[in-house]
Amino acid sequence: MTTGTGRPETAGSVADAVKGNWVDQLAPEWTRPYLRLSRADRPIGTWLLLLPCWWAVLLAANTTGFRLFDLWLIAGGGAGAWLMRGAGCTWNDITDRDIDDKVARTRSRPIPSGQVSVRQAAAWMCLQALIAFGILLTFNPLAIGLGIASLGLVCIYPFAKRFTWWPQIFLGLAFNWGAILLWAAQTESLSWPPVLLYLAGIAWTIFYDTIYAHQDKEDDALIGVKSTALLFGDATPRILMAFMVASVLLMTAAIILAMAPTASVLALVIALGAPWAFGWHMTWQLRSLRIDDGERCLRLFRSNRDAGLLAALFLACALLV
């Protein structure tokens, strides 16, 4: 619900935040602009960053056996995802502050709406990143190095829409890095399964973020910002079907390569339910998609939490046999 100015009715709230979210309702008032910078009022991004991390831990555990330390990887991965998603979104808002002011959905964000200054936002970004680095230091050296390397992808992503029609690829490269990092943290090595899982996540990111980008396509076209939503146009459902198939097949290959040599047949069969349940959910999204209905696009985008959780559930169940 909005006021006559088009701004959200709750003071300072962001236009596409979840209605009645805890930030607007419960957080101390002075913290709200910073939590909004971190998208704490829009938790779907944290889920989408976290789920590839959980896939990697659970798939690796199916090859090595589940250990007590894996509980820390799951919990620490969750905290790290929240912090780094917050730092990344803060960086995105700093770099996009002039663009956000021209887009209806984003002009209510904390920087363009004047809730925080750029200097305050930069300080908040650094604080989140430092705490996340502290968590990273509890992992092994290979994982620490991979975590540091991911900063380059995080820094580049906000600029991608200025020079390529495929900014969703850069988002996928950054958002799914946890699949490689957490596999390394669990196994202290790298191999083909996490790489395939990483590629599956990138295809998934292109799928869900193209749906998301259809909300802004008219504003993006006016201000010269590029996206796969504009590139694909009316062909979006057909092209997204190809990325869905790619994601399912890559995840299937990752599971077979990781588990076939040592896992029981039953465990492998259960684990292979992950990509197919994942794919079923994406098929439902495509059948429901209306690219000119912004509210539906947002609902479908948010539903990808459930798609990723379905995959994680099957991988977790495989550990029980």
Asked whether residue 117 carries a pLDDT value surpassing 90, the answer given is yes
State residue 12's pLDDT score.
Answer: 77
Give the type of residue at 249: L
Calculate mean pLDDT across residues 202-218. Answer: 95
Asked whether residue 295 carries a pLDDT value surpassing 90, the answer given is yes
**Nearest Cα to Cα of residue 112 among 125, 124, 126, 101:** 101
What tokens were used for 280? 């079923």
Asked whether residue 6 carries a pLDDT value surpassing 50, the answer given is no
Whether 16 maps to a domain, the answer reads no
| Percent of the chain at pLDDT exceeding 70 | 97
Give the residue with greater pLDDT, 53 vs 42.
53
Specify whether the CB–CB gap between 95 and 159 falls below 8 A.
yes
Specify whether the CB–CB gap between 11 and 1 falls below 8 A.
no
Q: Tell me how many degrees the CA angle 109-113-116 measures, rounded to the nearest 5.
A: 85
| Number of domains the chain is built from | 1
Give the residue with greater pLDDT, 133 vs 3.
133
What does the alpha-carbon distance between residue 199 and residue 176 come to, in Å, rounded to a whole number?
8
Largest Cα–Cα distance of the chain, in whole Å? Answer: 63
State residue 10's pLDDT score.
Answer: 59
State residue 2's pLDDT score.
Answer: 40
> In 3-state terms, what secondary structure has residue 13?
coil
Residue 2 — φ and ψ, nearest 5°?
Answer: -125, 165
Residue 1 burial by CB count (10 A; 0-12/13-18/19+): exposed, middle or buried? Answer: exposed
Whether 179 maps to a domain, the answer reads yes
The per-residue pLDDT for range 65-80, each reduced to its tens digit, is: 999 999 999 999 999 9
Give the type of residue at 19: K
Whether 84 maps to a domain, the answer reads yes
Distance of CA 114 to the CA centre of its chain: 27
What tokens were used for 171? 């988002």
Calculate mean pLDDT across residues 195-224. Answer: 94
What tokens were used for 76? 């620490």
Asked whether residue 144 carries a pLDDT value surpassing 60, the answer given is yes
Domain limits for position 179: 22-318
State residue 100's pLDDT score.
Answer: 82
The per-residue pLDDT for range 77-101, each reduced to its tens digit, is: 999 999 999 999 999 999 988 888 8
Whether 13 maps to a domain, the answer reads no
The per-residue pLDDT for range 216-255, each reduced to its tens digit, is: 898 888 888 899 999 999 999 999 999 999 999 999 999 9
Mean pLDDT in the chain? 93
Calculate mean pLDDT across residues 286-290. Answer: 97
State residue 8's pLDDT score.
Answer: 47
Asked whether residue 139 carries a pLDDT value surpassing 60, the answer given is yes
State residue 11's pLDDT score.
Answer: 65
CATH (domain of 160): 1.10.357.140
DSSP string, 61-110: HHHH---HHHHHHHHHHHHHHHHHHHHHHHHHHHHTHHHHTTSTTTTTST
What tokens were used for 254? 């990752």
Whether 2 maps to a domain, the answer reads no
As a whole number of Å, the end-to-end CA separation of the chain is 49
Whether 7 maps to a domain, the answer reads no
Neighbours of 117 (CB within 10 A): 12
Whether 146 maps to a domain, the answer reads yes
> What is the value of pTM for the model shown?
0.92
Whether 9 maps to a domain, the answer reads no
